Structure 1
Amino acid sequence: MDPTAADREAIEHLVAALRHADGVSAWSEPALLDLATPTGHGRHLVARGDDGALAAWAHVDVGEPDDVVVEVGVAPGTRRHGVATALARTLLADPAIRPGHARVWAHGDRPGAAELAGALGLARDRELWMMRRPAGADPLPPPGDVEGVTVGTLRVGMDEPDVVAVNARAFAWHPEQGAMTVDDVRRREQEPWFDAEGFLLARDAEGALLGFHWTKVHPDGARDGGPVGEVYVVGVDPDAQGRGLGGALTLAGLHHLAGRGLDEVILYVEADNAPAVATYRRLGFEVDAVDVSFGLREDTSAPSAGDDDGGR
């Protein structure tokens, strides 16, 4: 179902309450964007208490039938009262959520989420690390140049198709990032945080796009509560790899953020991407938080009414 205006307002309050209670958002950026501006492939399920107050919200992204993404959050005051279990029962009965083709994200890897996943027979299958470079880290290495490559900034309304094409090749292995569309880019261009000057593009002498570094600035999230920068996406065309372009683009973006007074920077990376993790560690990043994906096994079934609710 699509949320009503009242549901949407209540969900926004729930999102803020969970972020305050848990120190992390229970939903990813795509889910929150879909709430604000529906994509057409997001499903919403809300649960309310006896008093009518919103108890939980589940977002289901069915944009990729073979990779359905489920994210659920339960209001702090209603946890361990069966709300998450009831939602799970409803979700697992949905024919779109098929074992082997759907997964549930637990942002922050909280114990309650792992307990619920275990009760539902879900298997831990991916880890996404949030790494942080603190403000007191060693100075950045100087920016590096790559022969025959020029770094400029995004030309809004012109460069999006090139970015999406390179992104698709660079992240062909990644179920979320590799599926980015031109509409996804343009949707983010409308967000308050978007800054074309922080969207760096590397081109060769003929003007072909070889890679990019898209940076982002959050109004809060730093250790002192102030703004924090983000290495949002770094993508290099596979045909241009092996030239040090990824490292050069990463440094260029970090220097751009430092130039804006943002020495504290975060990023997200797959835990098993050893080369990327090693690069980021050399630049002073350390693991700060973990998001976990739980996959539905072929033998997954809906929980019984008596199952405990350990959900977030």
Structure 2
Amino acid sequence: MTSDDFARPGRTRSLQTHTALSPEQVETVLALLDEAARTDGQQAVSEQGRLQLRGGERAGVTHLLLYLTREGREGSEGSEGKNDELVGYAQLEDTDPVEPPAAELVVHPSHRGQGHGRALGSALLAASGKRLRVWAHGGHSAARHLAQVLGLTLFRELRQMRRPLAGLELPDPVLPEGVTVRAFVPGQDDAAWLALNAAAFAHHPEQGALTQRDLDDRKAESWFDPEGFFLAEREGGLVGFHWTKVHRAEGLGEVYVLGVSPQAQGGGLGKSLTTIGLRHLAGQGLPTAMLYVDADNKAAVAVYERLGFLTHETDLMYRTET
């Protein structure tokens, strides 16, 4: 999420709205995201948003592409002219039956300060019927300014926490009676894991809504490793899991998703699964571990702090007044 103020003289904006992007459009958007990430230090669009760029139409997902077009030439729906330049991208997801649609947006670093962020934000407000939630990854001052301009208020704070893995010393995990841990088996465990994930994250609007398509998208990614996806079982049923992720280029191991069945909470299973996953990541030779946690989940924050995690950066979500 970025902020800017005025359009460049001699060029006009052209906003296109799509329910699916062509391979060429996907490539152009991903190049914009990569350039912005190099400048900002983190991705402006989440992993889920980047996955939703590819693979055709998805229910409830809309893509907004903002072009600069030379005067005297207009961009057409689905067809960009040679003089059209992609300067901004936004994604709107309207899949939550209760919460307002959620959005992410970015403006190319070389085109900031020209009103494009405000144009995208205004388009998102119009498309959502002025019921909108917007992520600002990193919580930069420009994003806070844009949120204010659009009349949005701070709603949610998501912390990224990190700790060193070098010299990791954690007590041996003590599993609750009757619980065993094994690796995820693709295809065999999909349905059971999706059901457990939905139950463990029934309160979480993004994670708890994952579908088979979402899982398949992640299994197709180069980072996916079932040996780092730990399942806890009791009497043949899943009661918890710790899915780890390796960001090899950044030298980071992630506590990607950690969940415990509501019926198995409070017995120390979550802490044991965390320890198992951290030991696995340390064994990969990674120097640092990271995770995301909502700031208002004080119990989880306290657990991670006791495990040596400290806040590294913060993502903020803004929303319209309800």
**Is residue 121 of structure 2 the alignment partner of residue 85 of structure 1?**
no
**Is residue 58 of structure 2 the alignment partner of residue 40 of structure 1?**
yes
Q: 4+ residue runs of structure 1 moved beyond 6 angstroms?
A: none
Match of 1:14 in 2: 32
**Is residue 204 of structure 2 the alignment partner of residue 174 of structure 1?**
yes
The C-alpha deviation readout for 1:144-171, integer Å capped at 9, x for no partner, is: 3322110001111011111111111111
Q: Which stretch has the larger CA shift, 255-264 or 285-294? A: 255-264
Match of 1:217 in 2: 246
Counterpart of 2:185 in structure 1: which amino acid? R
Match of 2:307 in 1: 283
The C-alpha deviation readout for 1:69-89, integer Å capped at 9, x for no partner, is: 100000111111110111122
**Is residue 136 of structure 2 the alignment partner of residue 110 of structure 1?**
no
Counterpart of 2:241 in structure 1: which amino acid? F
**Is residue 89 of structure 2 the alignment partner of residue 57 of structure 1?**
yes
Shift of 1:265: 0.7
Cα separation, 2, equivalents of 1:112 and 1:132? 25
Cα separation, 1, equivalents of 2:155 and 2:246? 30
Cα separation, 1, equivalents of 2:278 and 2:150? 42
Count residues in correspondence. 289
Shift of 1:246: 0.4
* Alignment check: 8 A CA contact 2:33 2:43 kept: yes
Cα separation, 1, equivalents of 2:274 and 2:56? 32
RMSD between superposed Cα atoms in Å: 1.5
Counterpart of 1:132 in structure 2: which amino acid? R
* Alignment check: 8 A CA contact 1:146 1:248 kept: no
Counterparts in 2 of 1:138 and 1:198: CA distance versus 1, 3 Å: closer
Q: Which stretch has the larger CA shift, 107-116 or 64-73? A: 64-73
Match of 2:262 in 1: 238
Query: 3-state DSSP class of the match of 2:315?
Result: strand
* Alignment check: 8 A CA contact 1:138 1:284 kept: no
* Alignment check: 8 A CA contact 1:144 1:251 kept: no
Q: Which stretch has the larger CA shift, 177-186 or 249-258? A: 177-186
Cα separation, 2, equivalents of 1:142 and 1:97? 52
* Alignment check: 8 A CA contact 1:168 1:179 kept: yes
Shift of 1:38: 3.5
Shift of 1:247: 0.3
Cα separation, 1, equivalents of 2:191 and 2:54? 24
TM-score w.r.t. structure 1 length?
Answer: 0.88
Query: 3-state DSSP class of the match of 1:233?
Result: strand
* Alignment check: 8 A CA contact 2:174 2:272 kept: yes
Query: 3-state DSSP class of the match of 2:91?
Result: strand
* Alignment check: 8 A CA contact 1:70 1:104 kept: yes
Match of 2:107 in 1: 74
TM-score w.r.t. structure 2 length?
Answer: 0.86
Cα separation, 2, equivalents of 1:149 and 1:92? 48
Cα separation, 2, equivalents of 1:201 and 1:135? 22
Counterpart of 2:87 in structure 1: which amino acid? A
Cα separation, 1, equivalents of 2:97 and 2:21? 22
The structure whose RCO (Cα within 8 Å, separation 6+) is larger is 1
* Alignment check: 8 A CA contact 2:165 2:282 kept: no
* Alignment check: 8 A CA contact 2:159 2:292 kept: yes
Shift of 1:90: 1.7
Shift of 1:142: 2.7
Shift of 1:261: 1.3
Match of 1:309 in 2: none
* Alignment check: 8 A CA contact 2:21 2:56 kept: no
Cα separation, 2, equivalents of 1:16 and 1:47? 17
Counterparts in 2 of 1:104 and 1:137: CA distance versus 1, 3 Å: farther
In structure 1, runs of 5+ residues without a counterpart are: 222-226, 299-312
Cα separation, 2, equivalents of 1:248 and 1:39? 40
User: What is the aligned counterpart of 1:201 among 231, 245, 267?
Assistant: 231
Query: 3-state DSSP class of the match of 1:48?
Result: strand
Cα separation, 1, equivalents of 2:217 and 2:208? 16
Counterparts in 2 of 1:33 and 1:290: CA distance versus 1, 3 Å: same
In structure 2, runs of 5+ residues without a counterpart are: 1-17, 70-82
The C-alpha deviation readout for 1:89-112, integer Å capped at 9, x for no partner, is: 222111x4442xx30000000000
